[in-house]
């Protein structure tokens, strides 16, 4: 076991232990963010730029943003060119990642935090198993290219491992540098709530790749303990993103309204009634990156506006109204919305845990209960698009 020099002989002051400005400080930190240059105009900032702004605004010494598109990196770096440093790189290439790490080593010599944020979503299957027969579903599923699955896992899961390994020596050097005392170096991975879904989707490879990334975080957290390097994750729900742009447009209840504004979505879709905002992501990453989150390792913080609560609601509603069409997020009847309002204080989660199927009263046929059409069913434009990269 390698002793962490940061914790040796450093007294802890009680005042600092409860002072918010000290607890959540990232002053002097050296950060690397893959996908850190995401720039959107239609729905707001992407997650990568939310993170970049959070660190650059709050005193980080250097924030290296990594991505394939130089113009987006340069646009983001212009926000604070003295702190934000753009580096062109491809997270699916070990050679490219090592070259980026070499550049950071020459410039800074160490890293305190690596945010593995790049992500991709391939075309979905295009139909829901709840809407078509088994032969149609099989045919549509087999139209998916194995190459799309491979590329999705390369970006969303495999890149988590190789990005961590590429920066491992620099993270170790960060543990030995006095710029950020009493704080172990960390890898912070952007996962997704899609990795937790058990209800049917037409997303294809995406949920599987995010589930893989989430478990890899836990595995790496234990693996890197001897080096004093922590690994944690954030699992966002819906935030402004290229990946979710079509879904945002389709489910926003107020046409032309800011999708992050209160009431932009019905609570039957997102109980928080909006997309995640910059302050939601910034507050979470500042907590996890600072002394406030120093006790976290192998942790996955879900940041989703309580979307899973809606899935629980859907299960319970179907038990009560077994012939109600499960068309979420394409729209629910006013009866379901009223049911939600009347059921706020009931233990829906406990009920949902035992509701896995319902029986048609007339035919005795077992019908499926819950449906999550997170990707865009019937969205021809999305189905023709090979990849969306969040970087």
* Residue 210 known to be catalytic: yes
For helices 146-153 and 205-223, what crossing angle results, to 10°? 30
Identified catalytic residue from 25, 210, 339, 340: 210
Contacts of 160 (CB under 8 A, 6+ apart): 116, 189, 213, 216, 217, 220
| Residue whose token pair is 């959107």 | 40
Count of CB atoms within 10 A of residue 273's CB? 16
Tokens of 212: 């893989």
Out of 128, 185, 191, 212, pick the active-site residue: 191
Q: Around Cβ 264, how many Cβ atoms within 10 Å?
A: 20
Is residue 72 flagged as an active site residue? no
- The closest of 51, 43, 41 to 264, measured between CA atoms, is 43
Q: Are 212 and 139 in contact (CB under 8 A)?
A: no
Of residues 64, 110, 137, 206, which has the active-site annotation? 206
Whether 182 and 6 have beta carbons less than 8 Å apart is answered as yes
Both tokens of 283, joined, read 């507050």
Alpha carbon 322 to chain centroid, angstroms: 33
Quick one: which of 100, 117, 202 has its CA closest to 155?
A: 117
331-367 b/e (C-beta count within 10 Å ≥ 16 → b): ebeeebeebbeeeeeeebeebbeebeebeeeeeeeee
Ramachandran region of residue 8, left (φ > 0), alpha (ψ -120 to 50) or beta?
Answer: beta
Phi-psi region of 44 (alpha: psi -120 to 50; beta: other; left: phi over 0): left
The secondary structure of the chain in percent helix, strand, coil, rounded to multiples of 5, reads: 40, 10, 45
Q: Is 295 a catalytic residue?
A: no
Q: Do 40 and 46 meet the contact criterion of CB atoms below 8 Å apart?
A: yes
Evaluate whether 184 touches 229 at the Cβ level (below 8 Å): yes
In angstroms, the CA 156 to CA 119 distance is 5
Active site residues: 191, 206, 210
């Amino acid at each position: 076991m390698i002793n962490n020099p940061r914790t040796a002989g450093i007294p802890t002051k009680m005042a600092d232990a409860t002072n918010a400005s000290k607890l959540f400080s990232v002053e002097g930190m050296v950060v690397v963010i893959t996908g850190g240059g995401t720039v959107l105009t239609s729905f707001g900032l992407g997650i990568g730029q939310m993170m970049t702004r959070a660190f650059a605004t709050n005193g980080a010494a250097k924030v290296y943003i990594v991505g394939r598109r130089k113009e987006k990196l340069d646009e983001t770096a212009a926000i604070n060119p003295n702190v934000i440093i753009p580096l062109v790189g491809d997270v699916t290439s070990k050679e490219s990642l090592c070259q980026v790490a070499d550049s950071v080593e020459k410039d800074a010599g160490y890293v305190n935090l690596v945010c593995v944020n790049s992500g991709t979503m391939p075309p979905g299957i295009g139909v829901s198993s709840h809407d078509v027969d088994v032969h149609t579903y099989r045919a549509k599923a087999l139209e998916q290219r194995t190459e799309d699955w491979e590329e999705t896992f390369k970006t969303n899961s495999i890149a988590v491992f190789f990005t961590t390994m590429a920066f491992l020596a620099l993270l170790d050097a960060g543990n030995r540098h006095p710029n950020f005392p009493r704080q172990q170096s960390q890898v912070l991975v952007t996962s997704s709530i899609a990795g937790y879904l058990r209800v049917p989707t037409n997303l294809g490879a995406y949920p599987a790749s995010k589930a893989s990334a989430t478990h890899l975080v836990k595995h790496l957290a234990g693996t890197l303990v001897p080096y004093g390097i922590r690994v944690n994750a954030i699992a966002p729900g819906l935030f402004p993103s290229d990946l979710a742009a079509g879904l945002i447009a389709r489910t926003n209840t107020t046409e032309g309204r800011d999708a992050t504004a209160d009431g932009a979505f019905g609570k039957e879709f997102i109980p928080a009634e909006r997309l995640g905002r910059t302050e939601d992501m910034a507050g979470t990453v500042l907590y996890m990156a600072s002394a406030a989150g120093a006790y976290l390792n192998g942790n996955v913080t879900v940041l989703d506006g309580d979307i899973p609560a809606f899935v629980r609601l859907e299960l319970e509603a179907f038990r009560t109204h077994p012939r109600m069409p499960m068309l979420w997020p394409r729209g629910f009847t006013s009866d379901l919305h009223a049911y939600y309002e009347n059921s706020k204080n009931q233990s829906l989660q406990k009920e949902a845990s035992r509701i896995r199927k319902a029986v048609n009263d007339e035919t005795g046929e077992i019908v499926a209960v819950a449906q999550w059409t997170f990707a865009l069913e019937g969205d021809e434009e999305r189905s023709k698009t090979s990849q969306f990269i969040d970087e």
